[in-house]
Structure 1
Amino acid sequence: MKNTVVALFFLVSLGPVFAQKKLFPQAPGMVSYTYRHSFQKNVAATLDTIKALGITDMEFSNLFGKTAAELRKLLDERGMKCSSFGVGYPDALNKTQEVGQNAKTLGAKFVRVAWIPHEGPFTLDMAKKTVADFNQIGKKLKDDFGIMFCYHNHGFEFQKHEDGTLFDYIVQQTDPKYVGFEMDILWTVFPGHDPVALLNKYGKRFKLMHLKDLRKGIVGNLSGGTPVENDVALGTGQIDLPAVLKAAKKAGVEHYYIEDESPSIASQVPQSIAYLKSL
């Protein structure tokens, strides 16, 4: 009897050691695009809504009529931060100084571009120009502002090229000192690729991640587009999120942002947050 009591005591005391660790212990960030319609009406109130969900890390892809300084003030007043600033390709290339200054004012450590302007299928010549532009943009942002430039994949870059894809070409040909990547997991799965395999392949090249899920039954393509209703709450779609998050942690992804383009964010975003907490 005595031995049984001692054994039970040790099991109870070691309980926390055996308890499963949370797969995603931190609070996620939020992409402003998720709340784009609300932000266009009232920036301060929208920030309050997001803060009430327990989210304080933002990726802005629009200033919503504010200056960078005005937006930074609203964030500071709420104990929130902007870690990544998204801009269009033309601005990144032609207004690099202004983009870098705005990002620095916001407090962002990353500047992100999410679309390469093109018509028709994405080609090797387009990829070659992209590589040259990205290296130029990234060097200027790093040298002048200490900011890392990242490209967010959008699905169309996965055209076949040699033994891989044009996305592989862009990753391999850009300078790791100046160009990182933000993996959008929906826009990796939609064109038929495995986020886990890419994270394992390129590791620390991936600095940021968009957390989103694709409706079950949807078959993708290389268009880079799908109806916004196909964005569903995390854990309810076809993406193996636990496997993705494990690979992302191993790769060293620094910021994770929920992005939900659907009109159902009022119900889906809290559901996504709850799902991440449950893992």
Structure 2
Amino acid sequence: MTTRRNFLQQASLLTAGVLLVPSCVMAKANQNVGIQLYTLREQLPKDVQGVIGKVAKAGYKEVETYGYSKENGFWGLTPKEFSQLLKKNKLTTPSGHFGFDAYISGKDEDLQSYIEAAKAVDMKYIIVPYLGENLRQTAGDYRHVAQRLSKAAEECNAAGLTLAYHNHDFEFKNLGDTTGYDILLSETDPNLVKFELDLYWVVRAGLDPVKLFKENEGRFELWHVKDMDKSTPTINTEVGSGSINFKEIFNNAKVAGVKHILVEQENFSKDPFQSITQSYTYVKENLL
């Protein structure tokens, strides 16, 4: 029998649920979606202003840079000019990929210029995007990389920035009873060195991203979201069109500790601006 008291209690719970669910949905829906500008590497150097405008028009709120140099800046723009261009298009750049092979080899001089550029455009993360083959032959090589990353991370931290490492698939190859990635995770300070997990490369290496999240909670503050082509796994495609189970991955976002979601695509079968718009729409409408 439903008494008035029971009815009111049930109604109260239902009302609370109604209030709570939209707030959770809203919190997820407000997650900004970014793009790694390497996706548009063919177009960007020819027309920086136009490409940035089209990225904003596609819906993106954040961009991740690549290829900065002290001599050429960001595709010919100084950090100040690039910052102004982003503001004009209501974009921010939380992170950038900067070449670190020389630094890992023992040359410290580039790091300060990276820090200055990152600060000038209000970045929060400096990302190590790749390791040259000569730097990653043995477990000892990766231990050296971990030492250099730790040193760079201390300098970044002192400047109010965070260092993060972006993977491909080679880091997951066995080196005796360990892997390069295991070494980088275990021999760097979790409070100083974060990781930008490229989900495509993790899956291509035959691993489960969710398992990585659970084994290393909170380390993966940035994600590269790019899908694996169903017929040709060695190339990627628009997010939602391939074979990666992004819904399961995004359901475990809290465990990963992700703060920035960045779409990336390197292979195209249609106009790249159509592709990035399609990926943005899928992520925003189906994953957040």
Same fold (TM over 0.5): yes
- Provide the residue aligned with 1:41 in structure 2: 46
Runs of 5+ consecutive residues of structure 1 not aligned to the other structure: 1-5, 220-225
- Provide the residue aligned with 2:70 in structure 1: none
Q: Paired residue for 1:233, among 215, 232, 238?
A: 238
Of stretches 132-141 and 163-172 in structure 1, the one that deviates more from structure 2 is: 163-172
1:188-245 Cα distance to aligned partner (Å, 9 max, x none): 11111111111111121111110101112445xxxxxx4xxx1111112121101111
- Provide the residue aligned with 2:282 in structure 1: 275
Number of positions where the alignment pairs a residue of Structure 1 with one of Structure 2: 263
- 8 Å contact kept, 2:139–2:179: no
- 8 Å contact kept, 1:148–1:179: yes
* Structure 1 SS opposite 2:151: helix
- Give the aligned CA root-mean-square deviation in angstroms: 2.7
Q: Paired residue for 1:55, among 49, 60, 72?
A: 60
Sequence identity (%): 27
Runs of 5+ consecutive residues of structure 2 not aligned to the other structure: 1-6, 68-73
For 1:61 and 1:121, the matched residues in 2 are separated by 22
- 8 Å contact kept, 1:122–1:156: no
Q: Paired residue for 1:67, among 78, 90, 94?
A: 78
Find out whether 1:266 has 2:278 as its counterpart: no
Alignment map for 1:15-164 (pairs within 5 Å): 21=25, 25=29, 26-62=31-67, 63-90=74-101, 93=104, 94=108, 95-119=110-134, 122-143=137-158, 145-161=159-175, 164=178
Q: TM-score with structure 2 length normalisation?
A: 0.82
- 8 Å contact kept, 2:226–2:237: yes
- 8 Å contact kept, 1:89–1:117: no
Distance of aligned partners of 1:78 and 1:92 in 2 relative to their CA distance in 1, 3 Å threshold: farther
* Structure 1 SS opposite 2:252: helix
- 8 Å contact kept, 1:122–1:159: no
Find out whether 1:216 has 2:216 as its counterpart: no
Give the residue type in structure 2 aligned to 1:50. V
* Structure 1 SS opposite 2:94: strand
Shift, 1:277, TM fit: 2.8
Q: TM-score with structure 1 length normalisation?
A: 0.85
